[in-house]
Structures are given as structure tokens and as C-alpha cells.
Structure 1
Amino acid sequence: MTAGVEEEFLLVDRRTGMPLARGPRVVEAARAVLGEQAQPEFFGAQVEVCTRPTACLAEMRSELALLRQVMAEAAAGEGCLLVATGTPVIPPERPPTVTPGERYGRMAARWPDLVGSYDGMVCGCHIHIGVTGRRQALDLANHIRPWLPPLQALAANSPFSLGQETGWASRRSVEHARWPGVGPAPLLDEAEYDRLADRLVRSGTLLDRRMIYWYARPSEHVPTLEIRLCDVNADLDMVVLLTALVRGLATALLPEISDARPAPRLPEPWLRAAHRLAAQQGLEGEGLDPASGGCVPAARSVELLLARAEPGLAAVGDRDLVEELFERVRRSGGGAARQRASYLRRGRLSDVVGDLARTTLTART
């Protein structure tokens, strides 16, 4: 199965660490090299890069490193640092601006309470897995639901927001959930998906189908299953680990889908509780065992995810890579732990931003 990644980044002032709305100019400069792989985002202080689909994770990693480098160089030309974090660490001097554009303008007009402050400025990492069509994407989304909370815990990288230690490993998860359409995907077949999507748009709940922000959804513009609940991570190895796990899990689930095994029907309160634990505690607290529903250490919940994905990881040759990368995370902690360690050294949020900016451009060889 092919994989691709979209990464959203913050642009911050190189001196103060405050968000700067230079996104359109930065994207314009980056497009001289990257073309349409460089994209603007909703707020002017955000930018996005998109990889091409590939079956080779080493190729994807090299492409991500190049995309980050070119975007960072374009940002430097505008006096900015490119920072991979789920939420702004340091508060801005002035209210945010929305990137010009017809669709963004309609969203801002429809939900003004969500765009009046930087609380809504969140940066994610969206992982795309190539599928044969919408039916396969929905089948995978239905089967993958129980395993997304441990993935969310692993990806948590936003403990600081607007100058505050939030008490969450992924504050992005909280702020992003203020938008309609964010949350666990319901269990749906193709006909049910079309009926629900049309109803959400007709009722005005969503502007269009692109605003279906479920944690796992069929993409509306490319033939992929899109996983949308991960924080963007400065450590490129973490992005590779997350992508490998999603692809390995999808590969392991496909035979079960082909055998017409039913998707797990988890109680909605249980699933939302699992996501809340993952967002709040990350890898350092408790998680829920997707099989039993009981509490386990969060790191153990990720181990269970690895075990569930193991047949798929082995089938595509990623098992050793995933074990190595996860062992690094186990020793050093994830993104949230790294941000907190940066702050504890001297009690300065500027140190957090500086470490994030350096790590965003550091690719382990």
C-alpha cells in the first residue's frame, strides 16, 4: 500500500517566537522549488507541505526532509522560523489573520467564534494510505477505529499553548475539536456515508464535505484513507513511525475485511474516553486496551498497537524499522515530553521554540 503525508507548520518570528502571518509569501517563495507540494493553510501564520504517494518509507522520509528544508529557507527569507508543533507555544502580539481565499473566507464568516483568537491555530500531520476506492477506505476506517487512541498518544506534541503549560500532552486535540466534524468516525458503509455527508452539508452543520474532519475518513480529492488525529511532530523519525504503523495496521486488517469479518462495535463513550486519555496524558499516563477496554499504561497501549499491526509490518518489511523507532521513543519520550524537558532546563518558552525549530530541520541519518 502506498503512503503519503501532509504536514502543517507554524511560522514564528525568529526573535520573539510569536506567530507571524507570512504564510502566503512563504508559500509563494517555496513553490519556485516545490510547486503545489507547498500549500497555504487556514491562518496566515501556517503553511503546509504534501508528499507524493510512495510505497517506500525511506523515500518518503527523504522527501519530507527536503520539503521541510525548502519551506524553512522560504520562511527565513521572511524573518520566520518553521516550527513543527501542534499549538503556538508563545502568544502573538495581535489577533490572527485568515489566509485570503473564497473558501477560507466562508468558513471564517460561518464560524467567527473559532477564528477570533489563536486558540484555533492548530497544526496536524495527516497520513494517507492508498486504497482502491471509497468502499475500501470506509471498511478500513471502520476496522481501524479502536487503534487510533494509542496512535494519538504516540503523536502528542502540544503541551504548551499561548504561553501556558496546558496540562495536556496534545492541546491541539482539544482546540481542534471546537470545529464541527471533528471526532471518531461513525461506522458507515458507502450508502450511509453519502447520506450522512449530504445531510451534514445541507443542514449547514458543515460547509462542504472537505470539512468532514473525522479521525479516519475517505479523502474527498484522492483515493486514500486519511488519518487526521496526529499532532505534527518536529522529529522526522516520529512521522516515519506513525506512517509505518498506520500502513502496517491497514495491511494487517485487509485480509479480515476480505473475509467479511465485522468491524468492532465499540461503545461511543468508551472510544471518546480513550481519545481523551490519549490527548491528555500522551505516553506518560494511562491508556485503554482496545481489546478489553481496561486501563493499561499508555506505552503498553502502543505496544498492543504494534502487536496488532505486526503481520502487516512484516508483510511490507517495516517491522524492524518500527521496533527500532519505537524503542527510541520509549527511551527519550515523545514530542510532548521533549517540549517539557526544553522548558524545564531554564524555564523559558523561547527555549521550547528554539528546540522545536532546530529539530524540525534535523533529519537523523
Structure 2
Amino acid sequence: MEAAAAEGTTTIDPQLAARAERRDLLTLGIEEEYLLVDTVEPHGVETADAVLAEAPEELKGSVQHEYLRSQIEVASPPQLELSGLQRAMTTLRSGLADAAERAGSRLLAVGCGPAAGPDARLVDKPRYHEMRKRFGDLSPGQGLCGTHVHVSIPDEETGIRVLNHLRPWLPVLQAATANSPLFDGQDTGYASWRSMLWERWPTVGPTPYLLSYDHYSTLIEDLETSGAMLDEGMLYWYARLSARYPTVEIRMGDVTPTLDDAMLLAALTRGLVATLLNEVRDGVEAPDVPYPLLMAAHWRAAKDGLEGLGLDIASRRPRPAWDLLRQLVDYVRPELDRHGDAELVTVLFERLRARGTGAARQRALLERGIPVTGVVDWLARTTRGENLG
């Protein structure tokens, strides 16, 4: 869900921006949404206000409410080095997990509520009440939690062309983040059930093929006029331009259970944007992939995650999803090298390959006879950074 941007997300230090420009590198930042659950029962609890009050003072500029009272969101400061992003997010996750426990709850990095429980109420903000009034109850349960990655771009027109080039690759990244197979205590048959629930909002979906920044702006105005969104903050395309800062925002993924997975997503996203910027500068036109084919690819990603098939947009044929992710890593490797991320990405990729996605790891627990309450315990411990294999 879209909340007001946390100050730490995109407030770029001028010295950092200058350093990035001198080295022709891209900055990146990440936002993560979390579910708050009871310390005994596995369902969501409305402790967001109490968690915010308990958060350490130095973190409060990077922590904020989300749509429901059982959710909370963090946003990293922009970073140039992936190691800096990892340190910032480690501090945010562990500090917020501690605050949640002081507030009588637990912090879960999971796409939607795994266990049955009462639907959470809205955070008491006029914007959210207006959203509920206009759109009804499109976010059932205890909350939908995603990951958003911001990567810097030189200007808006270039950003539009990057958005066009991104379209075929985003289902692969979505599959890598799949982390919501359970909902209301049941296995949904999907690796990312959050994706299916999220698609009920009228502006959620793949980014359309855009002709220019003027075209992008006109579409936003038309969507507002139509009533399909209140304002630009409700533009829920899987990739978009930031409304306030010089970044593209990639936002189709579940929040991942471990920071390893989140850092892999962030590094691959930056590598991909940097690779596509080179294509834009070289005058390479983005393929105008038919919108229904993109919808099919995103559905496939939500259904199987990385453990089944993905849709190869180029051949229009299903392929093992792991092969598509490896193809993406190979494609962006020169930019991973240039940004200093290649070695860590190799380690994180192999770690993900060995462990599986969050969805696969949750299902593995169930197959061992561990109940949903045990899955929630595992998620809480993994979210705070305990090494659980």
C-alpha cells in the first residue's frame, strides 16, 4: 500500500549525489512493509502506534505507518554501496523488531497474513478513510506487505524509456521475492498470494508502454479524473517514476523474509536499471511487449515463484524460473561488476538457490509437520536476522 514517503527513503545527500555522479554510478534505496502479529497467537494485531512510540529516536525518521494498524513500514536512506544499504536495513529491521516486542507484538516480513484472525482497522488518516470510502475493502485481512526499490535516474524522459525497457524483466524479479503462500491459515496454491489480492486495486499492474513523459503525465491526470485513484501516490504500476525525487521505483515484489533476499533484489534492480540506461543511451528501442503477455508472466510468477515455471517473454514459452533469474544475473553482470556488487550477488544468488524463496521455505516447514504457528515463529525470527538456514 502507498503511504506518505518516509523522510529517509529518498532525501538524497548532495555529497552522495555528487560522488555518484563523479563515478557515473547509481544510488539505491529500499522500502519494506511488515506485518505486526501477536506475541502468542499468530494473527495480526493493531500495535502500529505503540511500535512507532517504542522505536529508537534515531530510527523514527525512517519508520512510518502503513494503510492498516497491523502494518508498519521502513525506508532506508539512499546509498551508493550495497554494503551501506545492508547495514542500514539491518539496523532498521533489528531496531523495529525490538520496538515491536516492547509494544507486545512481533515483526514479520511476509507478503500477507499467514494465519486467520480479525481484519485490521485503517490507520486514522483522512486519506485512508477516503480510499476505503471510494474503493471499498480491497485489502482484506491484516495487511499486504511489499518491497519497493528506488534507483536513481538522470532525468524524467530517460526514466520513461527505462520503464519501457524494464517491463519484460519484472516478472522474474517478482518470482524471486515470492513470500506469501499462506493466507488465513491455508496454503493458497500460489507462491505470492499477496500479488493476487493486490491486483484488485484499479491501478495495479504492469507499466504500460509509454511514449514520453508527457504521455506518462497525461495518463496520471486521466486516471485521477476517472476516479481510479485519488492522486499520483495511488499509481500502483509495478514500476513508476518517483513523484518527488529522481528515481525509478520498482514495486511488484513481496517483502522478503531475509535481508539476503532483499539485498539480492536491490542489487539486481540497480544492475538492471544501469544496464538498461546503457541501452537507452545507445538508442536501443524497448520491445513493446503486449500487455496481456505481461499479465500472464506476472501471474506465472505469482503462481510458481522460482520453484516452477516462468514465462520467457522473448520466446513466449514457459521456462524454469531459476533459468530466467540466472539469465538476468548474466545480463546485468557488467553493471554488477562496475558497481562493486558482483561478488556479493554471486553469494546471495547461490544462497537463495540452496534455500529457496520465502514461499518455498514456508512450505518446507509445513511439509515437516510444523503448523502455521511455527511458520509464523520462523518468520519472526528470520525477520529480526536470526540465522535459521
What TM-score do the two structures reach when normalised by structure 2? 0.90
Map of 1:304-343 to 2, 5 A cutoff? 304-343=327-366
Equivalent of residue 199 in structure 2, options 143, 168, 177: 177
User: Which one-letter code corresponds to 1:106 in the other structure?
Assistant: E
Map of 1:140-219 to 2, 5 A cutoff? 140-188=162-210, 189-219=212-242
| Alpha-carbon spacing, 1:194–1:149, altered in 2? closer, same or farther (3 Å) | same
Map of 1:99-118 to 2, 5 A cutoff? 99-115=123-139, 117-118=140-141
Per-residue CA deviation, residues 103-133 of structure 1 (Å, 9 max, x unaligned), is 1111111112325x317x2100100001223
**How far apart are residue 363 of structure 1 and its match?**
6.1
| Alpha-carbon spacing, 1:145–1:247, altered in 2? closer, same or farther (3 Å) | same
Equivalent of residue 91 in structure 1, options 116, 134, 155: 116
**How far apart are residue 274 of structure 1 and its match?**
0.8
Q: Which blocks of at least 5 consecutive residues in structure 2 are unaligned?
A: 1-25
Q: Tell me the residue number matched to 1:43.
A: 68
Q: Does 1:226 align with 2:265?
A: no
8 A contact 1:19–1:45 mirrored in 2? yes
How far apart in 1 are the matches of 2:339 and 2:96? 31
User: Which one-letter code corresponds to 1:235 in the other structure?
Assistant: T
Per-residue CA deviation, residues 29-60 of structure 1 (Å, 9 max, x unaligned), is 21623122001000000000000001111110
How far apart in 1 are the matches of 2:277 and 2:44? 42
Q: Does 1:235 align with 2:248?
A: no
8 A contact 2:27–2:78 mirrored in 1? yes
Equivalent of residue 297 in structure 2, options 251, 256, 274: 274
Per-residue CA deviation, residues 296-325 of structure 1 (Å, 9 max, x unaligned), is 111111111112212211221212221221
Per-residue CA deviation, residues 151-207 of structure 1 (Å, 9 max, x unaligned), is 111110000011110000000100111112110001111010011100100121111
Q: Tell me the residue number matched to 1:22.
A: 47
Q: Number of residue pairs matched?
A: 361
8 A contact 2:159–2:248 mirrored in 1? yes
How far apart in 1 are the matches of 2:155 and 2:130? 30
User: Which one-letter code corresponds to 1:145 in the other structure?
Assistant: R
Q: Tell me the residue number matched to 1:10.
A: 35
How far apart in 1 are the matches of 2:183 and 2:222? 35
User: Which one-letter code corresponds to 1:264 in the other structure?
Assistant: P
Q: Which blocks of at least 5 consecutive residues in structure 1 are unaligned?
A: none
User: Which one-letter code corresponds to 1:240 in the other structure?
Assistant: M
How far apart in 2 are the matches of 1:70 and 1:204? 39
Equivalent of residue 138 in structure 1, options 142, 152, 160: 160
How far apart in 1 are the matches of 2:259 and 2:95? 15
Residue 168 of structure 2 aligns to a residue whose secondary structure is helix
How far apart in 2 are the matches of 1:140 and 1:219? 13
User: Which one-letter code corresponds to 1:274 in the other structure?
Assistant: A
User: Which one-letter code corresponds to 2:176 in the other structure?
Assistant: L
How far apart in 1 are the matches of 2:375 and 2:367? 9
8 A contact 1:4–1:54 mirrored in 2? yes
**How far apart are residue 21 of structure 1 and its match?**
0.8
How far apart in 2 are the matches of 1:137 and 1:21? 38
Q: More deviation in 22-31 or 188-197?
A: 22-31
Residue 175 of structure 2 aligns to a residue whose secondary structure is helix
User: Which one-letter code corresponds to 2:138 in the other structure?
Assistant: L
How far apart in 1 are the matches of 2:312 and 2:250? 20
How far apart in 2 are the matches of 1:207 and 1:31? 33
8 A contact 2:56–2:95 mirrored in 1? no
Map of 1:71-82 to 2, 5 A cutoff? 71-82=96-107
Q: More deviation in 5-14 or 21-30?
A: 21-30
| Alpha-carbon spacing, 1:3–1:363, altered in 2? closer, same or farther (3 Å) | farther
8 A contact 1:31–1:37 mirrored in 2? no
Q: Tell me the residue number matched to 1:292.
A: 315
**How far apart are residue 226 of structure 1 and its match?**
0.3
Q: Tell me the residue number matched to 1:64.
A: 89
How far apart in 1 are the matches of 2:364 and 2:200? 29
| Alpha-carbon spacing, 1:113–1:362, altered in 2? closer, same or farther (3 Å) | closer
**How far apart are residue 28 of structure 1 and its match?**
2.8
8 A contact 1:65–1:363 mirrored in 2? no
How far apart in 2 are the matches of 1:265 and 1:327? 32
User: Which one-letter code corresponds to 1:173 in the other structure?
Assistant: S
Residue 356 of structure 1 aligns to a residue whose secondary structure is helix
How far apart in 1 are the matches of 2:35 and 2:245? 25
